[in-house]
C-alpha cells in the first residue's frame, strides 16, 4: 500500500519536513543495515513509514506489516517495529497521540532513543540553516529592504529544550555558532516572551540522560534525566532565583551530584544555568549589559559570579581534604575505605593542577 501525493500533502508541515529530511533517510539506511535487509528493501521501509504517518497503516499493525514485507520472524519483526517507531515517530509524538500507548504496549522504552532524537534535532537545525543560506538574496540586492527570516521558530525552540539540550545545544563547540544561537534565541524571546513558559516546560520534562548512574529522588532510584536533576535541585535549593553560591553548594554538597565525574558536574552546572536563565528571564540577567545576556551558557566568564561561591568551593574542598587525609590514617592500607580516600584525594589534586 503506497500513499498518494494528496495524502502526503495533508500531513502537518513539521511532519513532512522530517519525513523528507536527510537525517530521516540516513536513519532508514541504518535501520536496514541493523536488520541485515538488502538495499532494494529500503524503499519498502520508506513506504511503510509514510503509510503509518498518513494513517494508512496503524501503529499496532507495524509488526504484522514488517513481518510480511521483510520476511522477519515475530521477535525480529517486533524489535524492528520498535526501532522504526523510536527513530521516526517519538520525535513527532505530539502529532501522533495514538502512537505512545501502542509503543509502550509493545514494550517500547522512549529513553532508549534519546540519542537518536538529539541527532534528529541537531540535523534538522543544520538542514534549515543550510537551505536558508541557499535562499539568501544575491549580493546585488543588498540595497533592497532586508527581510529577516527566523531560522528557528517556536516549535523548533520547544523541541530543542525538550529533547536536544545535551545532544544539540551543549555539543555546539564553535564559539561563534554558540554566540549566534544565543543571540537569535534572545531576540526571539524578546519578541515572543510568551514562549518562555513553553521552553521552561520542555526543559522540565527533558528525558535526556546526564551521568552514568541513576539518582535518588524522594527515596526512589530514578533515571538520571535532566528533568529529574532539575527536580532534585529544586527539592534541595528551592524554586527561587538562585546565585552562584547556591549552585556551588548543590554541586559540591548534595548527595546526587557526588556520583558525577568532573565533566558530568560541569555539564550539570550548565544545565542548571540554562534552567535559571530561562526560568527567570529577564530577571536572571541581573544588571548586565544586554549585549552580554545569555540564555545558552556558552562561556564560563559569567560576570554574575559571586566571589563567595568561589570561596565556598575552596573551603569545602579544604574540609574534604582534611577528612580524606584522616581516613588514610584511620583505615588500613588495602581496605576499600583507604583506596576510596586515596582516589578522591588524587581527583582533588588533579583538579587543582
Q: What is the pLDDT of residues 7-52, one digit of tens each?
A: 556 778 888 888 888 888 889 999 999 999 998 999 999 999 999 9
Per-residue pLDDT reduced to its tens digit, 266-313: 889 989 998 998 888 778 877 776 677 878 786 554 444 343 334 434
The answer to whether residues 147 and 274 belong to one domain is yes
Q: Which sign, positive or negative, has the C-alpha torsion 21, 22, 24, 28?
A: positive
For residue 143, pLDDT beyond 50 = no
For 152, the 3-state DSSP assignment is coil
Phi, psi of 99 (to 5 degrees): -70, -50
Residue 282 sits at φ, ψ, to 5 deg, of -95, 0
Contact call for residues 49 and 57 (beta carbons, < 8 A): no
- Same domain, yes or no, for 181 and 296? yes
Q: Which residue segment(s) compose the domain that 226 sits in?
A: 113-305
171 and 272 both lie in a single domain: yes
Tally of CB atoms within 10 A around 166: 19
Q: Once rounded to an integer, what is the mean pLDDT over residues 130-145?
A: 48
- Indicate the DSSP class of residue 211: S
Q: Pick the closest to residue 347 from 246, 339, 210 (CA basis).
A: 339
Specify the pTM: 0.46
Together in a domain, 89 and 153: no
Partners of 222 in the beta sheet? 215
Domain boundary among the residues 74, 108, 142 is at 108
The cell for 18 is 522530517
CB 279 within 8 A of CB 200: yes
Same domain, 338 and 323: yes
Domain count, the chain: 3
C-alpha cell at 160: 530543542
Amino acid at each position: 500500500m503506497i500513499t498518494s501525493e494528496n495524502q502526503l500533502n495533508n500531513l502537518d508541515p513539521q511532519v513532512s519536513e522530517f519525513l523528507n529530511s536527510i537525517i530521516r533517510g540516513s536513519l532508514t539506511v541504518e535501520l536496514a543495515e541493523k536488520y541485515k535487509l538488502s538495499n532494494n528493501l529500503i524503499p519498502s521501509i520508506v513506504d511503510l513509514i509514510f503509510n503509518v504517518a498518513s494513517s494508512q497503516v496503524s501503529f499496532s499493525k507495524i509488526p504484522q506489516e514488517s513481518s510480511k514485507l521483510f520476511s522477519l520472524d515475530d521477535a525480529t519483526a517486533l524489535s524492528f517495529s520498535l526501532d522504526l517507531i523510536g527513530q521516526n515517530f517519538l520525535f513527532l509524538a505530539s502529532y501522533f497521540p495514538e502512537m505512545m500507548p501502542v509503543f509502550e504496549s509493545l514494550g517500547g522504552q522512549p529513553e532508549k532513543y534519546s540519542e537518536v532524537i538529539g541527532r534528529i534535532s541537531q540535523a534538522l537545525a543544520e538542514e534549515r540553516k543550510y537551505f536558508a543560506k541557499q535562499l539568501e538574496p544575491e549580493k546585488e540586492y543588498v540595497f533592497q529592504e532586508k527581510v529577516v527570516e527566523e531560522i528557528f521558530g517556536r516549535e523548533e525552540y520547544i523541541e530543542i529544550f525538550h529533547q536536544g539540550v545535551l545532544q544539540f545545544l551543549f555539543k555546539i563547540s564553535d564559539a561563534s555558532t554558540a554566540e549566534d544561537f544565543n543571540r537569535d534565541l534572545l531576540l526571539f524571546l524578546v519578541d515572543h516572551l510568551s514562549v518562555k513558559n513553553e521552553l521552561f516546560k520542555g526543559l522540565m520534562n527533558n528525558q535526556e540522560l546526564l551521568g552514568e548512574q541513576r539518582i535518588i529522588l524522594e527515596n526512589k532510584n530514578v533515571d538520571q534525566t535532566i528533568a529529574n536533576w532539575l527536580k532534585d535541585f529544586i527539592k534541595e535549593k528551592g524554586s527561587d532565583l538562585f546565585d552562584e553560591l547556591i549552585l556551588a553548594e548543590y554541586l559540591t554538597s548534595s548527595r546526587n551530584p557526588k556520583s558525577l565525574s568532573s565533566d558530568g558536574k560541569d555539564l550539570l552546572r550548565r544545565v542548571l544555568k540554562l534552567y535559571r536563565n530561562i526560568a527567570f528571564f529577564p530577571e536572571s540577567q541581573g544588571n548586565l549589559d544586554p549585549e552580554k545576556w545569555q540564555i545558552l551558557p556558552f562561556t564560563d566568564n559569567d560576570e554574575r559570579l559571586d566571589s563567595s561561591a568561589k570561596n565556598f568551593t575552596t573551603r569545602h574542598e579544604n574540609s574534604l581534604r582534611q577528612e580524606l587525609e584522616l581516613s588514610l590514617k584511620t583505615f588500613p592500607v588495602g581496605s576499600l575505605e583507604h583506596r576510596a580516600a586515596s582516589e578522591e584525594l588524587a581527583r582533588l589534586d588533579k583538579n587543582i593542577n
